[in-house]
Amino acid sequence: MYDKLDTYLTECSSELASDDYWYDLGFEYATEMLENFKEEDWERLENQLDKKTLMWKKRLIYCLGDNETSKELDIIINLTNTEDEELFVMCIDALREVANSGNKEKILFAQIVERAGTLIPKSGIATKKILERFVSQFSV
């Protein structure tokens, strides 16, 4: 299943791919693939993540947050290690979906809350709300 998702996200991340298609239909198809992932698919995804383009990662993160697997959480946390602020905020949004008291320590350890807080003052209205909710959810 990983190969199928990889090919699909690569196609959806190309310059020829339409954002309209992605947000109307594409992400649902990719999300369905993720729902059928087995442990080995999650491991391959995690191992290949560093080799993927920024757009591929953004397409992926848009689909994450619903499966509630520990691997999914690890991948989202891994993707927060980016210089791209848009991808980082997308990760924060996905983390809000999978975050719970059982994984709070993992999120705090990765210093994601601290970084999210530094972005609040320079963010637009919608992004600011996402970041503020996340920071308040994980304030110690």
| Domain ranges for the chain | 1-63, 68-140
Please say whether the beta carbons of 46 and 78 come within 8 A.
yes
Q: Are the C-beta atoms of residues 42 and 77 closer than 8 Å to each other? A: no
Calculate mean pLDDT across residues 49-54: 95
Report residue 108's pLDDT band, with 50, 70 and 90 as the boundaries: confident
Residue found by looking up tokens 């993160």 in the block: 61
CA 63 – CA 25 distance, rounded (Å): 12
Residue 27 has pLDDT above 80, yes or no: yes
- Higher-confidence residue of 15 and 79: namely 79
pLDDT-above-90 percentage for the chain: 62
Tokens of residue 70, six digits? 């520990």
Cα–Cα distance for residue pair 137/98, rounded to 1 Å:
12
Q: What is the pLDDT of residue 70?
A: 80
Dihedral angle computed from the Cα positions of residues 125, 131, 132 and 134, in that order, rounded to the nearest 10 degrees: 150
Compute the distance between CA of residue 78 and CA of residue 95 in angstroms, rounded to an integer. 11
d(CA 19, CA 119): 26
